[in-house]
Structure formats: C-alpha cells, structure tokens
Structure 1
Amino acid sequence: MDKVIFEKDGRIARITLNRPEVMNAIDDDVPTQLEACVQKANADPDIHVIILSGAGDAFCAGYDLQFYAQSTGTNNVTQDMPWDPMKDYTFMARNTEQFMSLWRSHKPVLCKVHGYAVAGGSDIALCCDMIVMAEDAKIGYMPTRVWGCPTTAMWTYRLGPERAKRMLFTGDKISGIEAERMGLVLKAVPASDLDDAVEDLAARMATVPVNQLMMQKLVVNQAIEAMGLKNTQMIATVFDGITRHSPEGLNFKAKAEEVGWKEAVRLRDEGTWDWTDHRPINPER
C-alpha cells in the first residue's frame, strides 16, 4: 500500500499521508513518496491547487519512534559513538528537502490538520502555504524537550522570534484555536466544518490561473528566503543530529529501549525525568 496517496479531482490534487495505523508517522519512505506526489501535481498543467491531509485519526504524529527510538542498536537517526555528524546530516537533510517540496511547489499547498500535527508532522504542515486546523487539533514540536530540533525551522518565520521561542523552549502542544490566535495557521474551525472550510478555500483558489498563483507564491516565498531560510535550515538540521547524540539524547533512546517509546515520550513531555542524570527529576535541585 502506498504510504502517500495522490488523487486528481478536477483542478485540485489531493495528497494524503496514508499510514493511519500509526497516525501517519514518518518512516524512511514517507518523505520520498510525499515529494513524488508533489512533483506529480506540479507536472499536471490542469492542477491549480494541492490539498494535503492525513488518513485516519490524525494529520501526522511525527517520526515513527517505535522504529527510530524504541528499537535497539543503531539506525539512520542514532549512530554508534563516536558519531559522524555529516552522515546524520545527509540523512536528515534529505528528509528536510523532501518536506520542502511543499514549499517549492509551484502550485499552492493547503494543509488540512485534524487530530495531531506534531514533531516531524508539524515540519510537514509548516512547509505548506496555508494551514486550516480543526479547533480541537493539536500542533507542536515536543522533541525540543529532548531528542530533536525542527529541521525545516519554519516556526520563527511563521511566528516571529518571541512566539517561536515560547513553543520551542517548552515543547508544548497547542490547539487549533491558540494556533490561529498566535498567527501560526490561517484559521481554526470546528472539526465538523473542517472539510467544508478547506474545500471552499481550495475551490476559490482553483479559479485563479496557474501562472498567477505561481507568481504570487514565488514573490512571498522569496521574501522569506531572503531572510536566510536555507542557512537556518542547515544549522537546524545539524543541531537535530546533535540533540540525538548528546548525553541526554542517548539517555532518552536508552529509556525508550527499556520501557517503550510511549512511556519514554510521556516522561519527556511531562518533564518528570532528568535526562542528564538518567533519573527522576528531584524538585529540590
């Protein structure tokens, strides 16, 4: 089964993340298949707009930690020590570039978020041109608490420095309502209205000539890229590797191997574990 599905519906291309059994978690195949679908949409002169969504109960729950963190030994995101940061960068930069196919797409990309768009899933969503969220959906990058740095680095460009720091210093998840209030997403609507809101906006955009849409997107994106987006992403992707091979990052992976990734993530996100000393947090310290 394809892990990312492409469908053409008149002037609209529908791209769907399709691993619903794991809340569309990212594995080695998803970024490659996502980029291929974006390229397919861009190659079709009849398509004006792309809608990106997720199958099942969520948009995307981030990287598949059951494979990347819980499994013992090494894989693409955890090397034996001493580690080679450029080997890590090569792997993660590939994923970042494939997520950024959404940003580079000549056809506007409208992202529909229900359930969760968290961790690497938020990277994917924030590469899109506009995001419409269900009010009760959640978005955030929890791995900033340990074992991650958002490689697409889109938080600052969408929120500005202070609000980006508020999200990245805490690793909090916020609702669609708060995301709209902060200016992170275009708008949030009741979950029952999400499909209609996205379809109405896509239909309105689809009446504009393809070349007009392309020119307007290039102008806006160039303003962001002139701020140094590429350089920022390079640093963020290197830092992402460091977070996973720091003492705290290695302790987190060891804990995931010991108790399972769900329990390790719970300890991380609740702030109840000292990853430096690999023991529960002592509030007296």
Structure 2
Amino acid sequence: MSVVSYEKDGRIARIALNRPEVMNAINDELPVQLAEAVARADSDTDIHVMVLSGNGTAFCAGYDLTFYAEGNGSGEVTQPMPWDPIKDYSFMWRNTQHFMSLWRAMKPVICKVHGFAVAGGSDIALCADLTIMSEDAQIGYMPARVWGCPTTAMWVYRLGAEKAKRMLFTGDKITGREAADLGLVLKAVPADQLDDAVEEMAARMATVPINQLAMQKMVINQAIEQTGMQQTQRLATIFDGITRHSPEGINFKKRSEEVGWRQAVAERDEGTWDWTANEELPKRNR
C-alpha cells in the first residue's frame, strides 16, 4: 500500500502521509513517495495549489524508531561501527531533498498539522510554504537533545537565530498556539476549525493563475536561498549523522535496544538520563 496518498480535487492536489497505524512515522519509502506526489502535482497543468496532511491521529511523529533505533534498520542510518559518514550523508541528504521538494515546487504547498509534527515530521511540515496547525497540536524537534539535527534547518529560517536556539537547545515541544505566537507557523485555529481554515486558504489561492503563484514563490524563496540555505542544510545533514554516531548517540541506540525506544525517548525528553555515562542522571542535576 502506498505510504503517501494523492488525490486531484479540481485545482487542488491533496497529498497525505499514509501510515496512520504509526502516526505516519517516516520509513525508507515515505520521503521518496512524498517527492513523487509533489512532482506529480507540479507537472499537472490543472493544479494550482497543494494541500499536505497526515491520515489518522497525527500529521507525522518523525522517523520510525521501531525500525531505526530499536532494531538494526536498513543499515543506512544506524550503521555498525566503524561508521561510514558518506553512506550516512548520502541517505540523509536524499531524504532532505525529498522533503525540500515541497519548498522547490513551483506551486504553493499548504501543510495542515493536527496531533503531532515532531522530529523529522517537523522537517516536513516546515518545508511547506504555509503551515496551519490546530491549537492543540504539538511541534518540536526533540532529537536535538540527543540523536539528531534537523537537516532542513527550517527552524532558523522561520524563527530567526534566538528563537530557533530556544527550541533546539531544549528539544521542547510547543502547541500550535505557541508556534503561531512565535511566528513558526502561519496560524493556529481550534481543532474543529482546522479543515475549514485550510480549505479557505487553498480555495483563495487556487483562484490565482499558476504563473503568478510560481513567480511570487520563486522571488520569496530566492531571498532565503541566497543566504546560503543549501550550505546550511549540508552542514546540518552531516551533523545529523554525527549526532547518531557520537558516544551519546550510540548510547541512546543501545538504550533503545535494551528497554525499547519509548522508554529511551522518555528518558531523553524528560532529562533523566546521562547519555555520556549511559546511566540515570542524579536528581540534583535534572
């Protein structure tokens, strides 16, 4: 079954992450199929705007840690030592470029976030042109605490340096309401109004000629890209691999294999585990 669904609805292409049984967690296939769906919409002369969403209870819960952290995964991002950084970089750079297909598409993309857009799921949501969240949804990049670096670097481009540091120095999750107040996303609305808010925006944009939409997007994106976005993303992708194969990253992987990724993630996010010593952190230091 396709892990990304596609539907043409008049001038709107509806793209949905489709692994609802695991809150649309990212596996090897999802980034590839996402980019294929975006390319399909971009090449369709009837489509003016894309709406990206997630099926089930969440937009995207990040990378599938049952696959990548608890088990051996594909060997691409969870390699045994000695680690091959170029193999790791090649895999993650491809994923980053698949996510960035949302940014590079000529036509605008609206991302609708409910439930969670966390870890790698936040990378996807923040590559869209406009992101609209339900007020009670949560977004964050918790692997900034250990075992990850956001490869798209969209946090800094949306928030600026200080607010991006506030998020990535803590790995905190924030609500859609807080994300809108920070300027991370366009807006947040009550959960029961999310569909209507996205549909209203998509319908309004769909009345604009495709060439006009494309030119405005290209000009705005160029203003960001000329600051060195691709170089920043390359560094972030390299660092992402290093975080997973640092002493702390390897200890996180071992802990996930020992107790399951849910407990390992809870220890990481709550700050109760010393990943350098690989032992429980004394309460006075939490």
The TM-score, its normalising length taken from structure 2, stands at: 0.98
Cross-structure match for 2:114: 114
CA contact 1:133–1:187 (8 Å) conserved in 2: yes
Any idea what the Cα deviations from partners look like across 1:204-257, whole Å, max 9, x if unmatched?
A: 000000000000000000000011100000000000000000000000000000
Which residue type is aligned with residue 117 of structure 2? A
Counterparts of 1:73 and 1:114, CA distance in 2:
28
CA contact 1:74–1:80 (8 Å) conserved in 2: no
Cross-structure match for 1:202: 202
Which residue type is aligned with residue 178 of structure 1? E
Which residue type is aligned with residue 226 of structure 2? A
Cross-structure match for 2:182: 182
Counterparts of 2:73 and 2:204, CA distance in 1:
50
Cross-structure match for 1:215: 215
SS of the equivalent of 1:57 reads coil
CA contact 2:72–2:78 (8 Å) conserved in 1: no
Counterparts of 2:134 and 2:74, CA distance in 1:
37
Any idea what the Cα deviations from partners look like across 1:32-90, whole Å, max 9, x if unmatched?
A: 00000000001100100000000000000000000000014872112122211111100
Structure 1 position 187, deviation (Å): 0.2
SS of the equivalent of 1:86 reads helix
Cross-structure match for 1:228: 228
Q: How does 1:244-263 map onto structure 2 within 5 Å?
A: 244-263=244-263
Which residue type is aligned with residue 160 of structure 1? G
SS of the equivalent of 1:76 reads coil
Would the alpha carbon gap of residues 168 and 81 (structure 1) be closer, same or farther in structure 2, given more than 3 Å must change? same
Counterparts of 1:82 and 1:167, CA distance in 2:
32
Which residue type is aligned with residue 8 of structure 2? K
Cross-structure match for 1:125: 125
Cross-structure match for 2:142: 142
CA contact 2:248–2:275 (8 Å) conserved in 1: yes
**Alignment coverage as a number of residue pairs:** 285
Identical positions, percent: 70
Counterparts of 2:97 and 2:163, CA distance in 1:
25
Would the alpha carbon gap of residues 47 and 82 (structure 1) be closer, same or farther in structure 2, given more than 3 Å must change? same
Segments of structure 1 that go 5 or more residues without pairing to the other structure are none
Structure 1 position 283, deviation (Å): 3.9
Counterparts of 1:107 and 1:6, CA distance in 2:
16
Cross-structure match for 1:41: 41
CA contact 1:111–1:132 (8 Å) conserved in 2: yes
Q: How does 1:14-163 map onto structure 2 within 5 Å?
A: 14-72=14-72, 75-163=75-163
Answer with 203-212 or 65-74: which moved more: 65-74
SS of the equivalent of 1:170 reads coil
Structure 1 position 167, deviation (Å): 0.3
The TM-score, its normalising length taken from structure 1, stands at: 0.99
Which residue type is aligned with residue 208 of structure 2? V
CA contact 2:114–2:137 (8 Å) conserved in 1: yes
Which residue type is aligned with residue 186 of structure 2? L
Counterparts of 1:228 and 1:105, CA distance in 2:
19
Cross-structure match for 2:268: 268
SS of the equivalent of 2:132 reads strand
Counterparts of 1:265 and 1:65, CA distance in 2:
10
Any idea what the Cα deviations from partners look like across 1:139-178, whole Å, max 9, x if unmatched?
A: 0000000000000000000000000000000000000000
Q: What's the RMSD between the two structures over aligned residues?
A: 0.9
SS of the equivalent of 1:60 reads coil
CA contact 2:67–2:73 (8 Å) conserved in 1: no
Cross-structure match for 2:13: 13
Which residue type is aligned with residue 196 of structure 2? D
Counterparts of 2:60 and 2:81, CA distance in 1:
31
CA contact 1:72–1:257 (8 Å) conserved in 2: no
Segments of structure 2 that go 5 or more residues without pairing to the other structure are none
Cross-structure match for 2:4: 4
Counterparts of 2:165 and 2:236, CA distance in 1:
14
Structure 1 position 3, deviation (Å): 0.3
Any idea what the Cα deviations from partners look like across 1:65-122, whole Å, max 9, x if unmatched?
A: 0000001487211212221111110000000000000000111000000000000000
